Structure 1
Amino acid sequence: MFRGSMVAMVTPMQAQDGVRDPVDEEGLARLVDYHVEHGTDAIVAVGTTGESATLNYAEHERVIRIVVEAAAGRIPVIGGTGANSTWEAIELTRSAHKSGCDGALLVVPYYNKPTQQGLIEHFSAIAEAVPIPQILYNVPGRTGCDMLPETVARLAELPNIVGIKEAQGTVERARELVERCGDLIDVFSGDDFNALATMQAGGKGVISVSANVVPRQMHELCAAALAGDYEQASAINAQLSALHQALFSESNPIPVKWAAEQLGLIGPGIRLPLTRLAVEHQERVRAALTQAGAR
């Protein structure tokens, strides 16, 4: 259902006091146009990179609605609707469905460390409550809970669970998921640095941070890999590899928001406890943007 380079899009904000920086709604709509024009294959709105953790409930719903309206059917929109409360995740997913999202991205519940059975019941409840296509999101480095392949295999039997964004960090995990679940759901890389290897293992694309600033290159990388042209994909990936690493020189989305600001795509707003990129990392990110051909 979803393929290629899917940008985990930043949420532009107007710089105010770092606590209540308002969402730049006009800038948000312009970003959607930018991604449509530069070949991005789908937009994820209000994921981790979109500062879901710093937006309140009403803002969360409104950002998704604006992105859907701005996309106007030109590009699929996936709403980030996960939460560590099953009821809240259901409500956010219902809202995204009503707003016209093409899919929902549901992160493993964070902080409360559910069991594997708890994960099965959590995601099953959301899938049963809302008919929208749903992508699971495993990122144990942030959630403190690793959703194991056998758990994913059970959830893959639910008809509206259509994919998983796997950010456990190893290609071996992605390969195991493809082997276990590849005939039921699609596997997407959650890490730009191993996106190509994941697609070589049978994955269908990447939910990408780097695509915020090099959308055309990420689209071309994915298109080549999915067509089996690994020589071309590898050449593009080599050009982007320094950027993939530099954009995690501090916690995401700090570096990518700074990079997008340098390219004139967004303003400087970011909400505490996130801060602007430290000076000692700025030259590394700037050099990586140049090497990647960002403009």
Structure 2
Amino acid sequence: MSQQTMRGVFAVPTTPFHEDGSQNIDGLVAGVNNVIEAGVGGVLCLGATGEALALSTQEREAQVRAVVEAADGRAHVVVGCMGYAPPKVSELIRQAGQWGADAVMVTPPFYGGLEPDSAVAALHSIMSVSDLPVMVYNNPHSTGTDLRPEHLATLLDTETFWSVKETSGAASRVRELRAELGDEVEVFVGADGIALEGFTQGASGWVAASAWLLPRPCQRLWELSRDGNWVDAVDLWDGLASPLGQIEDSPAFISLIKQALSRRGAEQGPVRSPLPTAPPEAVEALLATLEELERKPAHV
């Protein structure tokens, strides 16, 4: 598969754990097979807002190698490479390449509250030496820096700038990115609750945590939107938006996805500290919404 085909739904895995706290690689592989069979175009592991930063280097390697082996060329594998200092991020990218990744995702240096010019300068130094295509994750809520289209355009000359994962929530941002970056860079919706809105503005993909739980309807929404079947896309969205909103609006959304999967037969174990655990009432509410969604065959 070429870089030009790296579009569509990229599902974000949970990190299943055994009772003793070790990774449940068999559970991870089962999840990879499930989402690929649903038709997703990629798997993005070690995402920035999940449990990646709570894993050791050995655990990261085990996870990526397992996902690459399970995907077996059927879907692209992208690896999150988050760090404060550019040399650290470059080392993570090098490791991801050794482990078989097709591409990587990076964020601006977090916590420092950098001005956009400083943030893109750091990203430029990383991307200029990367051996893999790079997705830039714009998540101002978590990093403290909003990379607008004009900032991201300064990264085009790195020749590794594959895509943007856009999560600012700005109403017209996907359209603005398309206008500024042209066809050279893919634009992925990064917030599940505004997926359809992003598709109407020309997004070429969706990085979706919810797709780990709901791969078929998420993939179907993308296909309908890609093909311009907006009537059916809106009809599907009317049912899908509710569970996606419940997940995205929860500060414990990783736990919420894990508990829902476990209750539905795909044991995940707990989240790793310091991530919060979703309360029982939130889990029950999500499960009830999922049951309602599944009573509509066209939405499954």
Report the TM range for the smaller structure's normalisation. Answer: over 0.9
Residue 117 of structure 1: how far off its partner (Å): 2.4
Which segments of structure 1 move beyond 6 Å, counting only runs of 4 or more?
none
CA distance in 1, matches of 2:23, 2:242: 30
Contact 1:127 1:160 in 2 (8 A): yes
Contact 2:254 2:271 in 1 (8 A): no
Contact 1:156 1:162 in 2 (8 A): no
Deviation digits for residues 210-236 of structure 1, max 9, x if unmatched?
Answer: 101110111111011011111121111
TM, length-normalised to structure 1: 0.93
CA distance in 2, matches of 1:68, 1:108: 26
CA distance in 1, matches of 2:44, 2:220: 18
CA distance in 1, matches of 2:50, 2:77: 13
| Deviates further, 250-259 or 95-104 | 250-259
| Deviates further, 21-30 or 275-284 | 275-284
Show the 5 A alignment for 1:172-211.
172-211=172-211
Any stretches of 5+ residues in structure 1 without a counterpart? none
Residue type of the alignment partner of 1:135: M
CA distance in 2, matches of 1:229, 1:148: 30
Show the 5 A alignment for 1:1-295.
1=4, 2-16=6-20, 21-48=21-48, 50-248=50-248, 249-293=250-294
Residue type of the alignment partner of 1:120: V
TM, length-normalised to structure 2: 0.91
SS in 1 for 2:19: coil
CA distance in 1, matches of 2:90, 2:266: 32
Deviation digits for residues 60-80 of structure 1, max 9, x if unmatched?
Answer: 232112111111111111111
Contact 2:107 2:138 in 1 (8 A): yes
Q: State the Cα RMSD in Å.
A: 1.7
Closer, same or farther: CA 285–234 of 1 in aligned 2, 3 Å: same
Contact 1:81 1:92 in 2 (8 A): yes
CA distance in 2, matches of 1:57, 1:138: 25
Residue type of the alignment partner of 1:285: L
SS in 2 for 1:265: coil
Residue type of the alignment partner of 1:85: A
Residue type of the alignment partner of 1:278: P
Any stretches of 5+ residues in structure 2 without a counterpart? none
CA distance in 1, matches of 2:199, 2:268: 33
Contact 1:93 1:104 in 2 (8 A): yes
CA distance in 1, matches of 2:112, 2:19: 32
SS in 2 for 1:206: strand
Residue type of the alignment partner of 2:293: A
Residue type of the alignment partner of 1:276: T
Residue 91 of structure 1: how far off its partner (Å): 0.7
Residue type of the alignment partner of 2:253: N
Residue 278 of structure 1: how far off its partner (Å): 0.7
Q: Percent sequence identity over matched residues?
A: 28
CA distance in 2, matches of 1:49, 1:38: 24
Contact 1:102 1:132 in 2 (8 A): yes
Contact 1:258 1:276 in 2 (8 A): no
Residue 50 of structure 1: how far off its partner (Å): 4.3
CA distance in 2, matches of 1:112, 1:103: 26
SS in 2 for 1:157: helix
Deviation digits for residues 11-62 of structure 1, max 9, x if unmatched?
Answer: 111134xxxx211111111111111212222100110354112112332232
Residue type of the alignment partner of 2:194: N
Deviation digits for residues 129-162 of structure 1, max 9, x if unmatched?
Answer: 2221110001111122212221111113322111
Residue 255 of structure 1: how far off its partner (Å): 1.4
CA distance in 2, matches of 1:61, 1:113: 30
Deviation digits for residues 60-119 of structure 1, max 9, x if unmatched?
Answer: 232112111111111111111122221111111111112221111112221122222222
